[in-house]
Structure 1
């Protein structure tokens, strides 16, 4: 439903003053007790409102701009659903620039990405098999790969460790969430190392990237590029007996082309080495793959919090709107859209995933967006059910409350925003933001800083206690 912004923000401010002044009696004091008991450094901000009327029921620092972390993906979902619609599908195409005669393509073969963030190795394997089944047995020209459907970005956020897989490159050709699988195992006195692009049915070796062992304790990984190939080194002292992890890909077109070449070869179709191109050649579409509908993609994005999915979806939305779509500028395009849709506000997005350090939105703006825009596109139905925690931070097994929300976690930042149904059926909408920005800045380039896990654990306990409080008071 539409909510008058002036009424909404005035109510938020009034609720904040009541809480600070203690005029609401036990309700306000109880909330402050919960915040004190959490013992969090930094800031705590929240707002809860009645979904039907928009009436603010309780708030604390509701107009303070806070880093939303992955709850920003809820705004990205609204942005995309309103513009593209839930049935929108991304397309990946294989194009011929010349005719096919006697099984031979007299021209170039083009693997053209369409910004699909869910494209997998198995999907490429199926495209290769369909290409051969269509009668293509040889290619006289080149294998070209095109990712220009979306502007390229080497990474989503610059303050993350170089090796974390949740901070890969972004382009219009995305494979395996732009990650490569690194596996190691003991082999005699050393290690056997491997890099592949595994799916569920295919496991081709990755030739566009390699890894070497370095006799050191730290850093854990180093990264470099040479001749268009990605090179990693890994510290031998950190490997133990064996294991695996995903690493980010920075040259997604070469990676996808490399994998497609290998999969085509397995079907009997030898292709030349892939060559990225900046402009899409014209030609005939031989085979193509359509993604799942956007609504289904968003369900998985909100559940698994995949950053590259959020960036691809958000940037595709900006392209469709004719707005600036490069990573940082696309975030600003979404900021402008939200300000226009809410009739004002100061939200500032530098990306669509919430990974960037400078993104800010207030609890008031988040709740206003969820209440005014969410029901129109069925956002609650796309969100994952949220499990409450006990005072030790463990998941409660018998939860009576229905809570559908998006979580967000960064170093010394924890957020939660969504919808809840109180025991009497009253529907509430809320946002809870906690963050210690000084400690977050100090933990830049660190994957697991000292004290970070305990800080987030205490924040999540506070979120559960606040939700239980609101259900008891307003349900």
Structure 2
């Protein structure tokens, strides 16, 4: 009798861990099934793939091979391919040269700037080059300022981008030479009732014309206004209309209204010329595009490593950065001029590298803005698995670039105050009718989980789709 009792105890102790492993997994599957059986999904598609990286086992799969739009989850592929094929130390550069003789503070020649796909170059960076010009004693430039943008093709938008998304900064105009994310901030300030409101541009530049029909009204009236750009005619004319309360600065959800800028290369040159003039350096010539002469003299370079720009790429989901990574991939492996199609070839090579078949999917851009992109939750999950298992060093760079639930980036205001807060590091994705969330979860038991949730085909349910994603994450944290 004692022997049987001891045997039963040993049996229970030996198999109890297995029982505990099976039970929570089946319980989680039931909970996820219940979420995805909601009436919302009667007309909306959901694809889910979840994998326990610690235990090396599938946790949950539903429609994981369906081809759906990734939205900004496309940036996971772009980021991962960039880390593997460019490396975190790859530099995105902007380089300045000059040609001509310098005599008595006068450059009898031209300045040249060569765009090297740096998406994060800012107007403040111009000071670094102007210091170099000043160190040569130059106070006057008799020639021109030229931009060499020959390292990429002339396609200023991605394939399948929506024409009526213009002038949103989510649809930036593309160039190998970029500045201020190829955008301008617009503020609208109420003055005196009956008078026009004041338009303030940041940065201020004569590159923009202003058409102002915004009128100041008394403080007890409601604000009713619009700020846009004459995008239909491809003009950089800022247009403001409507009513603005006296003494109130309208900034759209308490932030500046940002607009994309047409011809960012010329925008760069204009800001450069204006900054030179503010610093007391006169420029007599014009600003235009031209190839860098073979005998131009090197001046200075500003470079930014991929490990630096991948942070805003994924945390803030900046489309311009993703597209510049795509072009950098294209140039490195297929030469100049870089094209989006050649960049996609490199990403397809990455898909082959992780053991998947690129011919099963359709990719056209680096950011996921195009509705032409078609991927599966399975593919995204395999990317996440590959980076964790096969590229542990690069995995750390990738996961640290993802938004953290309830903390920062595009997840700063999601899952706050829940068990998922600070335990979900994932890339969001949103375009019309599409919501995506994929990344990594640290569960309460210490397990690391990779997951991908793609939801699409809803008319007005973005917040609802996100709520379902958040609920799934909270359940997985309990695993």
Where on the TM-score scale, by shorter chain, does this alignment land: which range? 0.7 to 0.9
1:67 maps to 69
Q: Within the alignment, does 1:387 sit opposite 2:406 as a pair?
A: yes
What is the CA deviation profile of residues 169-204 of structure 1, one whole-angstrom value per residue up to 9, with x for unaligned ones?
010111000001222223442434546443xxxxxx
1:278 deviates by 4.5
SS, match of residue 99 in structure 1: strand
1:270 maps to 282
1:126-137 equivalences in 2 (<5 Å): 126-137=128-139
SS, match of residue 90 in structure 1: strand
1:25 deviates by 6.2
1:261 deviates by 0.8
1:191 maps to 196
Change (3 A) 1:303 1:26: closer
1:27 deviates by 4.4
Change (3 A) 1:369 1:325: farther
Bigger mean CA offset, 151-160 vs 57-66: 151-160
What is the CA deviation profile of residues 238-291 of structure 1, one whole-angstrom value per residue up to 9, with x for unaligned ones?
899542411101111111111111111121111135432242333111222222
What is the CA deviation profile of residues 396-434 of structure 1, one whole-angstrom value per residue up to 9, with x for unaligned ones?
256576221111122321111111122222211110011
2:169 maps to 165
Which of 285, 300, 303 does residue 290 from structure 1 map onto? 303
1:362 maps to 376
Q: Is the 8 A contact 2:207 2:270 kept in 1?
A: yes
Change (3 A) 1:327 1:234: farther
Alignment partners' CA distance in 2, 1:187 and 1:30: 56
Alignment partners' CA distance in 1, 2:195 and 2:70: 44
SS, match of residue 230 in structure 2: strand
Q: Is the 8 A contact 1:334 1:349 kept in 2?
A: no
2:31 maps to 30
Q: Is the 8 A contact 1:115 1:173 kept in 2?
A: yes
SS, match of residue 429 in structure 1: strand
1:38-437 equivalences in 2 (<5 Å): 39-40=40-41, 41-52=43-54, 54-156=56-158, 157-188=161-192, 189-194=194-199, 196-198=201-203, 205-214=204-213, 221=228, 223-224=230-231, 230-236=236-242, 242-244=249-251, 245-272=257-284, 274-282=286-294, 283-291=296-304, 293-322=305-334, 328-330=340-342, 332-343=344-355, 344-345=357-358, 346-374=360-388, 376=391, 377-378=394-395, 379-387=398-406, 395-396=416-417, 399=420, 402-436=423-457
Unmatched runs of 5 consecutive residues or more in structure 1: 1-23, 199-204, 440-450
Q: Is the 8 A contact 1:110 1:143 kept in 2?
A: yes
SS, match of residue 117 in structure 2: coil
Change (3 A) 1:361 1:97: same
1:135 deviates by 1.8
1:222 deviates by 5.2
Q: Is the 8 A contact 1:327 1:350 kept in 2?
A: no
Alignment partners' CA distance in 2, 1:464 and 1:207: 46
Change (3 A) 1:428 1:384: same
What is the CA deviation profile of residues 370-391 of structure 1, one whole-angstrom value per residue up to 9, with x for unaligned ones?
11135511222332322399xx
Unmatched runs of 5 consecutive residues or more in structure 2: 1-24, 216-223, 252-256
What is the CA deviation profile of residues 301-336 of structure 1, one whole-angstrom value per residue up to 9, with x for unaligned ones?
111111101111121111111179766424532442
* TM-score normalized by the length of structure 2: 0.80
Change (3 A) 1:117 1:215: closer
Alignment partners' CA distance in 1, 2:421 and 2:179: 40
Alignment partners' CA distance in 1, 2:157 and 2:71: 16
Alignment partners' CA distance in 1, 2:441 and 2:386: 16
1:87 deviates by 1.2
What is the CA deviation profile of residues 424-446 of structure 1, one whole-angstrom value per residue up to 9, with x for unaligned ones?
22211110011116x4xxxxxxx
Alignment partners' CA distance in 2, 1:55 and 1:436: 30
Which of 453, 462, 466 does residue 460 from structure 1 map onto? 466
Bigger mean CA offset, 392-401 vs 118-127: 392-401
Alignment partners' CA distance in 1, 2:31 and 2:320: 40
Alignment RMSD: 3.0
Alignment partners' CA distance in 1, 2:381 and 2:283: 52
What is the CA deviation profile of residues 79-111 of structure 1, one whole-angstrom value per residue up to 9, with x for unaligned ones?
111122111222212211223233222321112
| Count of residues in Structure 1 that have an aligned counterpart in Structure 2 | 425
Q: Is the 8 A contact 2:94 2:118 kept in 1?
A: yes
* TM-score normalized by the length of structure 1: 0.81
Q: Is the 8 A contact 1:401 1:420 kept in 2?
A: no
Change (3 A) 1:192 1:336: same
SS, match of residue 97 in structure 1: strand
SS, match of residue 48 in structure 1: strand
